[in-house]
Amino acid sequence: MEIERKWMVDGWPVLDAEALPLLCTEYQEQGYLHTQAPIVRIRLERRGTDTKYVLCFKSEGLLVRKEIEIEVSKEDFERLSDLIGQPLVRKERRIYQLPEGLELEVNLVDEGLPTAFMYAEVEFGSEQQARSWDPAACGLGGYLSEDVTGQPGRSMSAFWANTRS
């Protein structure tokens, strides 16, 4: 189960490293085989020298949805990427440590292209935790002010359908 909230942001967060420690930076490439439920996505995830290739299925839902991720081989990823026949979305993701064991994932999508934008996500352990979490409590009230969690059409699959199909 995936339980996450999403915000549109204008840049990387600006807080001192002690208040918001950067855990890691990840490079991703992803594409979609199907953009309506069940959504079917492939993704390359690279952290340093470690690279994973993931096939993902997502159900309908905005705040809460089922998610199944299966690691696949580089060869299968390349075959599926070729089947898509569109340039994959490129993302830089920076992951920051939040209080209570939560993590803030900030994504720069399609850097340098007219389609570029940034968004942030926080995944939660329960729907109640997601609904009650207040970004202002950790100094991010101004940064995470544009909550788009419940807005249809704000997913990466919708972005793909609008820019790649």
The string of DSSP letters for 96-145 reads: EE-GGG-EEEEEEESTTSTT-EEEEEEE-SSHHHHHH--GGGGT-TTTT-
Burial class (CB in 10 A: 0-12, 13-18, 19+), 49: exposed
> Are residues 6 and 144 in contact, defined by beta-carbon separation less than 8 angstroms?
no
pTM above 0.75, yes or no: yes
Kindly indicate the confidence band of residue 156, based on its pLDDT and cuts at 50, 70 and 90: very high
Diameter over CA atoms, the chain? 45
Per-residue pLDDT of 98-154, as tens digits, reads: 999 999 999 999 999 999 999 999 999 999 999 999 999 999 999 999 999 999 999
The reply to whether omega before 38 is within 30° of 0 (cis) is: yes
Residue type present at position 18:
E
pLDDT tens-digit readout, 47-106: 999 999 999 999 999 999 999 999 999 999 999 999 999 999 999 999 999 999 999 999
pLDDT at 48: 94
What's residue 18's pLDDT?
A: 77
**pLDDT attached to residue 14:** 86
State the pLDDT at residue 105: 98
Taking residue 77's Cβ as centre, other Cβ atoms within 10 Å add up to 21
Per-residue pLDDT of 7-47, as tens digits, reads: 999 999 987 777 899 999 999 999 999 999 999 999 999 99
pLDDT at 165 over 80: no
pLDDT at 16: 73
Structural domains present in the chain: 2-163 (2.40.320.10)
